[in-house]
Amino acid sequence: MPTRRDFLKLGSVGVAGLVAAPPAAPGAADAAETPRYPLLTIAPLKDIGAGAAISFAYPDRHSPAMLLRLTAPAVGGVGPNQEIVAYSTLCTHKGCPVAFKPERKMLICPCHWSTFDPAKAGTLVIGQASQHLPQIELRVDNGLVQAVGVAGLIYGRHTNIV
């Protein structure tokens, strides 16, 4: 009968085998496994005024999101002062739609009051949720603010690209 020591030896062999495996060709695994996010133009930069809150959907029409122009630079922000950010508006607790409350500078869920900070990559400040709000990755190209990806898993999904 195998002893505990035998299992430990087997385990170390397995780990060594993993380490010794040859690396995949550069880019080969990424191309096969990394989902491709669509490119979505949300609005011209010149049309996004101070305090703007623009609803859109990304990466598909079933994924509500909101672009915000904050009053100060934000993590992951784009624009002249890195103050433009965007988030999925599906609360990571149970999927209720969060709303931006300018007076508190927070995205707040009306169902159980989870509160997320749009200036800090959607960090959970307080509430029932256990994960931050997924941030929509933005870029400015030719004067257009565009969505190019999502950081974090959208509520109710196994993968953001379905």
Task: Provide the phi-psi class of 107: left if phi over 0, else alpha when psi is between -120 and 50, else beta.
Answer: beta
Q: How far is CA 87 from the centre of its chain?
A: 7
Catalytic annotation present for 93: yes
Residues 6+ apart with CB under 8 A from 110: 96, 97, 98, 99
Catalytic annotation present for 132: no
- 124 lies in the binding site for ligand FES (CB under 6 A): no
- 101 lies in the binding site for ligand FES (CB under 6 A): no
Contact segment (CB under 6 A) with ligand FES among 25-33, 55-63, 72-80, 121-129 equals 121-129
> Which residue number, 104 or 139, has a Cβ lying nearer to ligand FES?
104
Task: List the catalytic residues.
Answer: 93, 112
Binding residues vs ligand FES (CB under 6 A): 91, 93-94, 96, 109, 111-112, 114, 127-129
